[in-house]
Structure 1
Amino acid sequence: MNKITIAIDGFSSTGKSTVAKQLAKYLGYVYVDSGAMYRAVTYYAMQNGLISKDDFNVEALIYQLDNINITFKFNEKLGFAEVYLNNENIERAIRTLEVSSFVSKVAAISEVRQKLVEQQQKMGQDKGVVMDGRDIGTVVFKDAELKLYMIASAEKRAVRRFDELIERGDQVLYEDVLKNVQERDHIDSTREDSPLVKAADAIEIDNSDMTLDEQFDKILRLAKMTIEDCE
């Protein structure tokens, strides 16, 4: 059976990572969370005092990019690959609202995007990969056989993100989560380098009122049809 490249783009908290993990596991493909890579760089910047609410030392971050080594290691107990920064497991650390509040600013830096896009393209050079992010179908894998563009209302996405953070024990307010979602939408869509846009050949999936099972079933059908068409 021929392997294809599946690119999943969309706004934050649209369930891209969830369905990408499900799809990769079912198909036996490699899953890459490109957003986690940008979160890892953001976490590095925070840990090294390069970014805060009042300041962002862009030049220093660019200078230190060669010091940032991001890898994924599969965790059999969890069933997915966790993110490591310079050999430190940061999977949980990068999922906080604080990291979320800075990640779009870091992802807007051209030098950061160039470094990570190169790594992402290497990860997918043999196909058989499911990758999600903001520019996967428009920049990273322009020739992907299947491109999906996930959307949902900001309010629905904020509820999902809020529930996720509360479940893991974070102390957050819904209003703060909604504000973060809206701010990230604006930054992601208006940045100069690789803004979030729907690829011309991407299939739009509005999952505002879908269950996780409904979403997976619909996308799996699309993947199977694409794989068959490529044989």
Structure 2
Amino acid sequence: MKKIIIAIDGYSSTGKSTIAKRLAKELGYIYVDTGAMYRAVTLYAMENGLCGDEGIDREGLIGKLDDIKIRFVLNNTLGYGETYLNDVNVEEKIRSMDVSNRVSGVAAISEVRHKLVEEQRAMGKDRGIVMDGRDIGTVVFPDAELKLFMTASPEIRATRRYKELLGKGKEISFQEVLKNVTDRDYIDSHRKDSPLFRAPDAIELDNTDMGKNEQFERIYNHAMRIIKKQDE
């Protein structure tokens, strides 16, 4: 059976990664969370004095890009790859609100995007991959056989993220999470390099009122129709 590329784009906290992981596992494909890659670069910048409350040291970060090595290591217990930054597991650190508040600014730097897009394309050269992010179907793999664009209302997405953070013991207000969601929406959609938008041939899924299982079944059925068509 021929393998395809599945590109999943969309706004933050729409469940892209959850769906992508499940889909990759069901199909026996590789899963790549490109958002984790941008978060890892952001964490590196924060830990090396290149990104903080005063802003981003753009030129300093660009000069250090060759020192940033990101890879995914399969955790057999979890069933998916965890993010490693320069051989250190940073999966938990990159999910913090501090990183969330700064990642869109770092991701807007063209040199950062060019480096990571090149790495992402290399990961998908043999196809058989599910990749989620902001520009997968528009920039990384514009020839992907299946493109999805996931969205939901800001309030619903903020509620999901808020509950997730509370479940991890984080002390944070709902308003702070909602502001983070809307701020990231604006930055991601208005940056000059690879802004977030739905590819013309992407299937849009608004999961504001859609359960996880219903959503997965729809996406899985789309994928199987395309995969079977490749073999005709």
TM over 0.5, yes or no? Answer: yes
Counterpart in 2 of 1:14? 14
Counterpart in 1 of 2:120? 120
CA distance in 2, matches of 1:86, 1:163: 31
TM-score of the two chains, using structure 2 as the length reference: 0.99
Q: For 1:80-134, what per-residue CA distance to the aligned partner results, in whole angstroms no more than 9, with x for missing partners?
A: 1000000000000000111000000000000000000000000000000000000
CA distance in 1, matches of 2:98, 2:55: 14
Q: Residues 74-153 of structure 1: matches in 2 within 5 Å?
A: 74-153=74-153
CA distance in 2, matches of 1:170, 1:87: 26
Q: For 1:19-65, what per-residue CA distance to the aligned partner results, in whole angstroms no more than 9, with x for missing partners?
A: 00000000000000000000000000000111112221000000000
1:186 maps to a residue whose letter is: Y
3-state SS, counterpart of residue 64 of structure 1: helix
1:18 maps to a residue whose letter is: T
CA distance in 2, matches of 1:22, 1:204: 19
2:49 maps to a residue whose letter is: G
Q: Residues 67-78 of structure 1: matches in 2 within 5 Å?
A: 67-78=67-78
Counterpart in 2 of 1:37? 37
CA distance in 2, matches of 1:21, 1:178: 25
How far is 1:142 from its partner?
0.6
CA distance in 2, matches of 1:55, 1:224: 45
Counterpart in 2 of 1:212? 212
CA distance in 2, matches of 1:178, 1:53: 19
Unpaired runs of at least 5, structure 2? none
Unpaired runs of at least 5, structure 1? none
CA distance in 2, matches of 1:109, 1:72: 23
Counterpart in 1 of 2:174? 174
TM-score of the two chains, using structure 1 as the length reference: 0.99
Figure out how many residues of one structure are paired with residues of the other and give that number: 231
CA RMSD of aligned residues (A): 0.5
How far is 1:229 from its partner?
1.5
What fraction of aligned residue pairs are identical, expressed as a percent?
60
